[in-house]
Amino acid sequence: MKILHTADWHIGKKLHNYELTKDFELFINWLCTCLEENKIDVLLISGDIFDLANPSSAARKQYYKTLVQLKKHVKHIILTGGNHDSPAVLNAPKELMKALNLEVIGGLPKNIENCLIPIKNEKGKIEVVIAAIPFLRNPDLRKEGITIKTQEDRLSAMRAGIAEVFKRAENACKELHPEIPAIAMGHLFAAGASTSESERDIQIGNQAAVKSTVFGEYFKYIALGHIHKPQQVLGFQPVFYSGSPISLSFSERKDQKRVLIIDTEKGFNPKSVVIPSFRKLIKISGNLEEISQKLHELPKNEELENLIEIELKEEEYQIKHIQDLEDLIHSFEKEGYQIVKHRASFEKNLKLSGEIFEKHINLEELKPENVFEERLELEDFSEQEKEEINSAFQELLEEIYQQENL
């Protein structure tokens, strides 16, 4: 039997307000071909199906469209909820999906047996059992009679609770399906895993990272979600994060995205299948002249728009640097490219207002006009520019005074 492991789809995700709908569509088209070519029997999706707990109607539509598309190419599909997902949203059409061999475990059920999904082969014999464990929330891990006094007590209790859930799943597998190999799904942060910018905090900001020993030695493979960088975690058995199928942040721009395929006849060490890159995420940094040159040298692109993040690096802070960067971005036009994020950093930090004046002068005794005038003197503007800026400041200040007196 062949099983494909993927996770962290984040349907509805925007990268700095840029829609990634097309990226996901191209991934699903590729995945359908991958399922066919590798004759996959079971598709596992380990959490974070959606990017938001309350996904938009467009995201939900893409989700259902995707499942219909995939169901034509694989017999069994099993989805679990992640920390981004709402169990209620995922579970709403659960019975309808079950009739179509689409198993959804949005949140941890009261009876752990309901997490176990036996997979039968063509002869009707159970060949493997999937323990589909979703993201575990605080109520799932809370135990009566335990006193929590410190933050470390809380973290220890959470780690123990996660280990207990996997142990209960193991015991249920042994009791209900003895001598049948079992695979566990999970959505959590395993100690030692390397993260990217796009993962949100999970179980107290990743402080409750669990050791791979919590999975025990019984399961043949652990199919994890949450971490977007594809990687293996050391454990008693193969423990893998498939990673997200598309880049969800610029920190992932160098990641080689993949899915993992297990052939149970050959064992439970997965084969990695690389997902093609559908668009590039490009980071450009330097001073204004260097950035301008790099933008000018970008090669022609006729595929999906490549997205650009710009970081201006200058030695000293000047408002003019910011204005020039804004002008450069506003005037940038190159087919196949779009700047979606920019920021500036300066080697010499901007002086604090308190450092502008002599030490014996108390800022609280100064008027806003005095502070602004002194600060303006630090900028490299012409006298005419300073007059215009000061005039604009006076108008804003007058508006504030009027609002306070209403």
pLDDT at 220 over 80: yes
Residue pair 42/3 in contact (Cβ under 8 Å)? The answer is yes
- Measured distance CA(64)–CA(8) in Å, rounded: 16
Q: Which of 80-89, 96-105, 210-219, 384-393 has the highest mean pLDDT?
A: 80-89
- Given this model, what pLDDT does residue 159 score? 87
- Given this model, what pLDDT does residue 147 score? 66
Specify the CATH number for the domain of residue 119: 3.60.21.10
Structurally, the chain folds into a number of domains equal to: 2
- Tell which of 224, 259, 274 closes a domain: 274
Q: Is residue 152 located within the same domain as residue 21?
A: yes
For range 28-49, the mean pLDDT: 97
Interacting residues of 183 by C-beta distance below 8 A, sequence separation 6+:
3, 44, 128, 129, 130, 131, 219, 220, 221, 222, 223, 262, 268
- For residue 351, give the DSSP letter: P
- Tell which of 228, 249, 274 closes a domain: 274
More confident residue, 294 or 198: 294
Q: Is residue 217 located within the same domain as residue 246?
A: yes
More confident residue, 50 or 234: 50
- Measured distance CA(46)–CA(143) in Å, rounded: 25
Instruction: Name the region of 216 (left: φ>0; alpha: ψ -120 to 50; beta: rest).
Output: left
Q: Is residue 13 located within the same domain as residue 160?
A: yes
For range 76-92, the mean pLDDT: 95
- Given this model, what pLDDT does residue 387 score? 76
**Encoded tokens for 311:** 């970081």
- Given this model, what pLDDT does residue 8 score? 97
More confident residue, 195 or 305: 305
- Measured distance CA(398)–CA(381) in Å, rounded: 24
More confident residue, 350 or 396: 396
- Measured distance CA(179)–CA(117) in Å, rounded: 15
For range 346-351, the mean pLDDT: 64
Q: Is residue 308 located within the same domain as residue 163?
A: no
- Tell which of 274, 297, 328 closes a domain: 274
- Given this model, what pLDDT does residue 366 score? 65
More confident residue, 45 or 138: 45
Q: Is residue 139 located within the same domain as residue 244?
A: yes
Query: Residues of the chain with pLDDT > 70: what percent?
Result: 88
More confident residue, 66 or 145: 66
- Given this model, what pLDDT does residue 56 score? 96
Of residues 9, 70, 63, 64, the one with CA closest to residue 35: 70
Q: Is residue 261 located within the same domain as residue 295?
A: no
- Given this model, what pLDDT does residue 370 score? 74
Q: Is residue 245 located within the same domain as residue 364?
A: no
- Measured distance CA(406)–CA(401) in Å, rounded: 9
Query: Residues of the chain with pLDDT > 90: what percent?
Result: 63
Q: Is residue 257 located within the same domain as residue 139?
A: yes
Quote the pTM value.
0.81
Domain that holds residue 99: 2-274
- Given this model, what pLDDT does residue 203 score? 46
Q: pLDDT tens digits for 293-308?
A: 999 999 998 889 999 9
**Encoded tokens for 157:** 């209790």
Confidence band of 353 (pLDDT split at 50, 70, 90): very low
Beta strands in 317-380 (DSSP E): 337-348
Confidence band of 406 (pLDDT split at 50, 70, 90): very low
Q: Is residue 363 located within the same domain as residue 393?
A: yes
pLDDT at 336 over 70: yes
Q: Is residue 266 located within the same domain as residue 285?
A: no
- Given this model, what pLDDT does residue 319 score? 81
pLDDT at 361 over 80: no
Neighbours of 291 (CB within 10 A): 23
Residue pair 361/37 in contact (Cβ under 8 Å)? The answer is no
pLDDT at 204 over 60: no
For range 370-377, the mean pLDDT: 77
Q: pLDDT tens digits for 222-260?
A: 999 999 999 999 889 999 999 999 999 998 999 999 999
Question: Considering the chain, what is the average pLDDT of its residues?
Answer: 87
- Given this model, what pLDDT does residue 138 score? 84
Long-range pairs for 298-305 at CB < 8 Å and ≥24 separation? 298/334, 298/337, 300/335, 300/336, 301/335, 301/336, 301/337, 302/336, 303/278, 303/279, 303/336, 304/22, 304/23, 304/26, 304/278, 304/279, 305/279, 305/336, 305/337, 305/338
Q: Is residue 70 located within the same domain as residue 209?
A: yes
pLDDT at 398 over 80: no
For range 261-272, the mean pLDDT: 96
pLDDT at 200 over 90: no
Q: Is residue 362 located within the same domain as residue 379?
A: yes
